[in-house]
Amino acid sequence: MNRPAPVEITYESMRFLITHNPTNATLNKFTEELKKYGVTTLVRVCDSTYDTAPVEKEGIQVVVSSLLTCIHSRSSFVDLAPIPFTSVLV
């Protein structure tokens, strides 16, 4: 399956990489792509489709966004503090 290319967004001193959600089958290539962009924190905003252990083993912190909880519970939007590291939204 073809996946769209990652999109990098810069805001002030922060960089964000928006990309597709990988599967366990595509996780190695996905992790290499994250390393190529210098990602240090991955913020998961969708349901899990992969094991986070291999990503964390590469030194990339995985955070599950509370936005996902809000979407599932249909509650009001909560403000998320920006993460001051190079981040990726998956």
Domains of the chain (ranges; CATH) run 7-89 (3.90.190.10)
What pLDDT is attached to residue 25? 92
Low-confidence ranges of the chain (pLDDT < 70): 1, 66-90
| Numbers of helices and strands, H then E, in the chain | 3, 5
Distance between CA atoms of 27 and 36, rounded to whole angstroms?
14
Contact predicate 88/35, CB 8 Å:
no
What pLDDT is attached to residue 79? 40
By the 10 Å C-beta count (0-12 exposed, 13-18 middle, 19+ buried), 22 is classed as buried
What pLDDT is attached to residue 67? 56
What pLDDT is attached to residue 24? 93
Contact predicate 7/19, CB 8 Å:
yes
What pLDDT is attached to residue 8? 86
What pLDDT is attached to residue 28? 92
Supply the pTM of this predicted model. Answer: 0.67
